[in-house]
């Protein structure tokens, strides 16, 4: 905001008026800490991932960040804070929530699952993707079902919900499942690639992206029944309902105008960089319904 403060002031005033219309006469005017921080610094900080295609990943030596969620974050911020400089910060599944909580990040643009435990720490936008947690194996593997995981070595990424799902599956099987953790998805995939793990458990879309960018995509398969379905969403500070209302407003307009489906197709159906390959994951029924009636329901509501 080197030249103008008008966009921020107008947005804050408009949102405050909207809340005031709905609130009791004695209610306090809502604060907008995120907008005030962006206005003061002149920049909005996006938390992005380096190795989570097609949701958020780095391209080339100059580390240009791209992906489905990166594009959604950019669309949202360019509408809410058009004069702000967008600054990208590489984060992991493990440190995203703390960096949002302490104000380092203004918005998290990685593939983060919305669940009730995390809702105690941060706020989530309306759901923009629903993933199925499955497993990637080498094509010569005999693993075909989650029921075969007992006494196998399975890779997972630190800080992901796959870790908890594997522990739950271990109890169900009544047999040990040795989980080896990678610091990020790239490292976890290397555990599978090198043979140190029999399978890699993660969201289906991320597995498809990692396989498409591997040295030999034909060497891997995604197999087995889903361990679970998970709502994925952008995230931000918990104490800023005004900012959430603004973000949800932009996303809802994209969904209901049909623009969101075009963005989805760009990243999940059309060929994507760097290898110009398609993930072939067309828009499913669940997500299509969410685009028609957006909500921010947590993971637990999908398990009922």
8 and 35 Cβ atoms separated by less than 8 Å = yes
Q: Does residue 29 sit in helix, strand or coil?
A: coil
Q: Does residue 48 sit in helix, strand or coil?
A: strand
Give the CB-side neighbour count of residue 120, counting CA atoms within 13 A: 2
Do 237 and 178 belong to one domain?
no
pLDDT for 302: 86
CATH number of the domain encompassing residue 106: 3.40.190.10
Do 67 and 84 belong to one domain?
yes
How many residues are there in the chain?
A: 304
Do 21 and 126 belong to one domain?
yes
Q: State how far the Cα of 95 lies from the Cα of 42, in Å rounded to an integer.
A: 24
Residue 122 belongs to a domain = yes
Do 29 and 62 belong to one domain?
yes
Q: Which of 229, 248, 283 is the last residue of a domain?
A: 229
Q: Which of 4-8, 85-89, 239-243, 294-298 has the lowest mean pLDDT?
A: 4-8
pLDDT in tens, 255-300: 999 999 999 999 999 999 999 999 989 998 889 999 999 999 999 9
pLDDT for 27: 39
Reported confidence tier of residue 304, pLDDT bands at 50, 70, 90: low
pLDDT in tens, 143-164: 999 999 999 999 999 999 999 9
Do 171 and 81 belong to one domain?
no
| The two structure tokens encoding residue 124 | 């989530």
Q: Which of 203, 229, 255 is the last residue of a domain?
A: 229
Q: Is the pTM of this model over 0.75?
A: yes
Do 72 and 117 belong to one domain?
yes
Q: Structural domain of residue 245, as residue ranges?
A: 6-130+231-302
pLDDT in tens, 116-148: 999 999 999 999 999 999 999 999 999 999 999
Does pLDDT of 12 surpass 80?
no
Residue 156 belongs to a domain = yes
Domain count, the chain: 2
Q: State how far the Cα of 227 lies from the Cα of 28, in Å rounded to an integer.
A: 44
Q: Which of 23-37, 101-115, 216-230, 254-268 has the lowest mean pLDDT?
A: 23-37
Q: Which of 190, 205, 229 is the last residue of a domain?
A: 229
pLDDT for 38: 96
pLDDT for 78: 97
Do 71 and 148 belong to one domain?
no
Do 137 and 96 belong to one domain?
no
Non-local (6+) Cβ contacts of 212 within 8 A are 53, 272, 275, 277, 278, 279
Does pLDDT of 8 surpass 80?
no
Non-local (6+) Cβ contacts of 73 within 8 A are 46, 48, 107, 109, 234
Do 63 and 40 belong to one domain?
yes
Does pLDDT of 198 surpass 70?
yes
Strands (E), the chain: 43-48, 51-52, 56-59, 64-66, 85-90, 107-113, 123-124, 129-138, 153-157, 178-182, 199-203, 220-236
First vs last C-alpha separation in the chain: 46
Nearest CA to 159 among 45, 49, 300?
49
Mean pLDDT of 224-229: 90
Residue 1 belongs to a domain = no
Residue 224 belongs to a domain = yes
């Amino acid at each position: 905001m080197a030249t103008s403060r008008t966009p921020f002031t107008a947005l804050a005033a408009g949102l405050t008026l909207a809340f005031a219309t709905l609130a009791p006469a004695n209610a306090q005017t809502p604060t907008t800490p995120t907008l005030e921080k962006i206005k003061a610094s002149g920049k909005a900080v996006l938390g992005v991932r380096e190795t989570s295609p097609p949701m958020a990943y780095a391209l080339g030596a100059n580390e240009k960040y791209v992906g489905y969620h990166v594009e959604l974050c950019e669309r949202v911020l360019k509408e809410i804070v058009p004069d702000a400089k967008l600054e990208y910060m590489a984060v992991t599944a493990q440190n995203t929530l703390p960096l949002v909580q302490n104000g380092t990040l203004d918005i998290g643009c990685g593939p983060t699952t919305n669940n009730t435990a995390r809702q105690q720490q941060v706020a989530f936008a309306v759901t923009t993707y629903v993933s199925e947690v499955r497993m990637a194996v080498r094509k010569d593997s005999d693993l075909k079902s989650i029921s075969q995981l007992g006494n196998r070595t399975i890779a997972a990424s630190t800080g992901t919900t796959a870790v908890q799902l594997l522990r739950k599956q271990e109890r169900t099987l009544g047999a040990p499942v040795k989980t080896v953790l990678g610091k990020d998805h790239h490292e976890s995939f290397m555990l599978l690639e090198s043979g140190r793990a029999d399978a890699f458990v993660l969201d289906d879309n991320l597995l498809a992206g990692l396989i498409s960018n591997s040295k030999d995509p034909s060497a891997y398969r995604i197999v087995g029944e889903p361990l679970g379905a998970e709502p994925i969403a952008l995230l931000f500070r918990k104490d800023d309902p005004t900012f959430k209302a603004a973000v949800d407003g932009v996303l809802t307009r994209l969904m209901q105008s049909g623009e969101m489906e075009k963005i989805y197709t760009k990243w999940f159906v059309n060929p994507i960089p760097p290898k110009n390959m398609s993930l072939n994951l067309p828009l499913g029924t669940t997500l299509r319904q969410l685009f028609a009636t957006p909500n921010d329901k947590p993971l637990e509501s999908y398990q009922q």
